[in-house]
Amino acid sequence: MSHRRSFVAGLALLALGTAPAAAQQGKFEIVPQVGYTFGGGYDFDGGTFDGELFPGGKIKLDDTPTYGVSIGFEGRRGSFFTLSYVYQPTKIGVEWNTTPPDIGGRDPNAKGDINFHQVIFGGRQEFAKSSEQKVRPYIGGGLGFVVIDPSFETNTGASADNQTRFLLSLNGGLRYMFGEEKRFGLQADMRGTWFWIPNGEVYVWCDYWYGCSAYEGSATIAQGTASVGAVIKF
């Protein structure tokens, strides 16, 4: 918990430290957001555990609300540099293809708590013919990382470990700005994110020069997030 608080505090200090320089030019913005994230999971094949056969299925994340904040610095011709933090508390479980057996005395339909902390460094391009335009569509994208923070035990009885994974993000949306100076507004955004985690499968590659080597496979976790936010410019 202390690591997570230090991490969030560090982002806040970064925002406060960079705000004065941007505010002098009137090009700094902050956008608190609330949204709903859906999707996320991957298929797996059946196998055995403690000598018992179990069917295949899908590791799946629950669809849940998300909360976040973005800071932005305006560049030229409607371009912005952005830093975003998104928090998703959710649950992870299995959707079985058929009725599963009792696995080692554990409920096969049980779900575990898991939290995701996304940090995205990106950019956004607004499409406005003038600074007086109220309705402003935009597209954006970015790269970053996601901290995966599980709070459950694995099927071996051990606590699941935290992981940090590379993340890709693409988004688009619409803004409506109010007032003569266009300092306040509302934002509707749709974002897609992708990150990769180990899927437990091991592959072997062999060639003539280097012989054989094993490597662990990975699964793509794709999620979508629809959100609304309040735009505040300084």
Per-residue confidence (pLDDT) for residue 21, from 0 to 100: 47
Handedness of CA 146, 150, 154, 160 (dihedral sign): positive
Assess whether pLDDT exceeds 70 at residue 212: no
Q: Which residue has the higher pLDDT, 7 or 55?
A: 55
CATH tag for 2-190+227-233 (out of 2.40.30.10, 2.40.160.20, 2.60.40.1180, 2.60.40.1170): 2.40.160.20
Q: What is the C-alpha to C-alpha distance for residues 103 and 60, in angstroms, rounded to an integer?
A: 18
- Most confident range, picked from 42-46, 126-130, 188-192: 188-192
> Given pLDDT bands bounded at 50, 70 and 90, which one contains residue 168?
very high
Q: Name residue, tokens 């100076």.
A: 181
Q: What is the C-alpha to C-alpha distance for residues 204 and 225, in angstroms, rounded to an integer?
A: 36
Q: What is the arithmetic mean of pLDDT over 71-93?
A: 93
- Most confident range, picked from 105-109, 210-214, 224-228: 224-228
Give the model confidence (pLDDT) of 88-112 as tens digits.
999 998 888 888 766 666 777 888 8
**Which tokens is 189 given?**
């955004």
Assess whether pLDDT exceeds 70 at residue 26: no
Q: What is the arithmetic mean of pLDDT over 71-79?
A: 90
Q: What are phi and psi of 4, to 5 degrees?
A: -65, -40
Per-residue confidence (pLDDT) for residue 148, from 0 to 100: 92
Q: What global pTM score does this model have?
A: 0.78
Domain boundaries, the chain: 2-190+227-233
Q: What is the arithmetic mean of pLDDT over 1-19?
A: 51
**What percent of the chain shows pLDDT beyond 70?**
73
Per-residue confidence (pLDDT) for residue 46, from 0 to 100: 75
* Residue type, position 22, single letter: A
